[in-house]
Amino acid sequence: MKVWTVANQKGGVGKTTTTVSLGGLLAQQGKRVLMIDTDPHASLSYYFGIDAEASSHSVYDIFINFNNLTADKVMDCLSPTKIDNLYVLPATMALATLDRTMGSEQGMGLVLKKALAKIYDEFDVAIIDCPPVLGVLMVNALAACNKVIVPTQTEYLALKGLDRMIRTMEIMGRSLDKTFDTIIIPTMFDKRTNAALASRKRLMSDYGERVWHGVIPVDTHFRDASLIQLPISAAYPKTRGVTAYSKLLKVLEK
Ligand SMILES: Nc1ncnc2c1ncn2[C@@H]1O[C@H](COP(=O)(O)OP(=O)(O)OP(=O)(O)O)[C@@H](O)[C@H]1O
Ligand SMILES: [Mg+2]
């Protein structure tokens, strides 16, 4: 199983959209895909119409039971989507309490990694969607992954947020004794605006090799797809957004 984490401490930059779009494309290729929602706002879960509040089948239950996880218990927490091979490990609001209640317990940073190890052979790719805050959930997502995808909106303020995210990964990398394979993705790119062009140029000059050479364009089909609870590639296959994420996927799979 490959594990990819989609993270940026800045909100609204396209993390959840990236998770869903890549997950949809991979599942349509026949890969078995698990998307993990670690955001207490549960945007990814709601995208697919999953409300985990009522059940005890969510990422929260994995954290609560972290001392006696089994493959069956982890698999029990997953929800299917309308797409074959595409599953969600949903989030609940209770996740917001984890930092306070369990954040300092020994081993809490490795819960997700251990849970994924239990179901290693069940999926080809796991994609972890992070909340826009640094806390125990993002720490878990970073510790569990082989690759970090950092969507960055092509506008000035978002570049500031990226600075913080890169520093977080440097600090985390030192404490976990690993270097992150990082790819920065320019998102919501509107080629007609000078601000977008200037910030892409700035990204390239500040972060060089780590920046993906393509861009994810602004495309209203992303929002339309979310309204019918489908990844964009299933809802509107012939759109600029799908073409862009397909190109990105080729690079990620290399
Ligand atoms: N390339 C795009 N073109 C147009 N709209 C987009 C694009 N990417 C994302 N959006 C829209 O922008 C909004 C925010 O995107 P998304 O939820 O993916 O960001 P996020 O980083 O996950 O936000 P949060 O930090 O709140 O979790 C959504 O309404 C989404 O449909
Ligand atoms: Mg999100």
Domain ranges in the chain?
2-252
pLDDT beyond 90 at 225: yes
Rounded mean pLDDT, 65-85: 95
CA of 38 to the centre of ligand 2 (A): 9
What three-state secondary structure class fits 182? strand
Choice between 158 and 8, residue whose per-residue pLDDT is larger: 8
Closest ligand 1 atom to the C-alpha of 8?
A: 21
Packing angle, helices 194-207 and 156-176, rounded to 10 = 20
CB atoms within 10 A of CB 17: 28
Strands 182-187 and 125-129: unpaired
CA of 160 to the centre of ligand 2 (A): 18
pLDDT beyond 80 at 153: yes
46 CB less than 6 Å from ligand 1? Answer: no
Smallest CA-to-CA distance from 58 within 17, 98, 95 is with: 95
Mutate to test the pocket of ligand 1, among 16, 155, 242 (most ligand atoms within 8 A of CB): 16
pLDDT at 54: 81
Q: In what order do the strands lie in the sheet with 125-129?
A: 79-80, 86-89, 33-37, 125-129, 2-6, 147-153, 182-187
233 CB less than 6 Å from ligand 1? Answer: no
218 CB less than 6 Å from ligand 1? Answer: yes
pLDDT in tens, 165-204: 999 999 999 988 999 999 999 999 999 999 999 999 999 9
14 CB less than 6 Å from ligand 1? Answer: yes
Percent of all residues in the chain with a pLDDT value above 70, rounded to a whole number: 100
Q: Which superfamily, per CATH, for 2-252?
A: P-loop containing nucleotide triphosphate hydrolases (3.40.50.300)
pLDDT at 84: 96
Strands 33-37 and 147-153: unpaired
226 CB less than 6 Å from ligand 1? Answer: yes
123 CB less than 6 Å from ligand 1? Answer: no
Q: Which residues of 184-211 are buried (b: 16+ CB within 10 A; e: fewer)?
A: bbbbbbeeeeeebeebbeebeeebeebb
pLDDT at 234: 98
pLDDT in tens, 42-59: 999 999 999 989 888 999
- What's the pTM? 0.97
Torsion, CA 157, CA 163, CA 169, CA 171, rounded to 10: -130
37 CB less than 6 Å from ligand 1? Answer: no
CA of 138 to the centre of ligand 2 (A): 12
189 CB less than 6 Å from ligand 1? Answer: no
Average pLDDT score, the chain: 95
CA of 146 to the centre of ligand 2 (A): 20
pLDDT at 158: 83
pLDDT beyond 80 at 103: no
pLDDT beyond 80 at 208: yes
Strands 86-89 and 182-187: unpaired
pLDDT at 192: 94
Place of tokens 């510790």: 143
